[in-house]
Amino acid sequence: MRLHDLKPRPGSKHRKKRLGQGESSGRGKTSGRGGKGQSARSGSSIRIGFEGGQMPLIRRIPKRGFNNKRFKVVVLPVNLSDLNVFEAGSVVDLAALQQAGLTNGTYDSVKVLGRGELTQKLTVRANAFSETARAAIEKLGGTAEVVS
């Protein structure tokens, strides 16, 4: 087999539907645009939600209530078992967590949780600690430092 012998698999290539090629083509005359009107014109594009000048639904319905989404604080959880990737005696801070690939996305603070088991002594610097996480870190002789 040579490069010039290669062909696409049968049925994988479809002929492009040619619009406006006569009545018998199945897409002739109006070419699937219906008859007359704004959407039948060339260069026509109507934005989403446009209702022909009528007051759009999104502006007709009343706006009520308060949404707190803007002020939400995103706390990134890090489990004790995840901290085992660091060497004994090392300092684990936000930069070290990021370099190890334990943090991703946007977040406001990092909280160390007590899930899993820690196997070595570490100095952990984070925004918050659960009680069980703090106890587990200090049990092995490490320190849990809160940074703001």
pLDDT of residue 67: 86
pLDDT of residue 44: 83
- Rounded to an integer, what distance in angstroms lies between the CA atom of residue 58 and that of residue 29? 36
Answer for the pair 106, 74: CB distance below 8 angstroms, yes or no. Answer: yes
Max Cα-Cα span within the chain: 84
pLDDT of residue 143: 93
Q: Return the SS3 of 75.
A: strand
Domains of the chain by range and CATH? 79-146 (3.100.10.10)
Q: In which residue ranges of the chain is pLDDT below 70?
A: none
Identity (one letter) of the amino acid at 82?
D
Q: What is the pTM of this model?
A: 0.55
pLDDT of residue 123: 94
pLDDT of residue 110: 94
- Rounded to an integer, what distance in angstroms lies between the CA atom of residue 38 and that of residue 41? 6
pLDDT of residue 13: 93
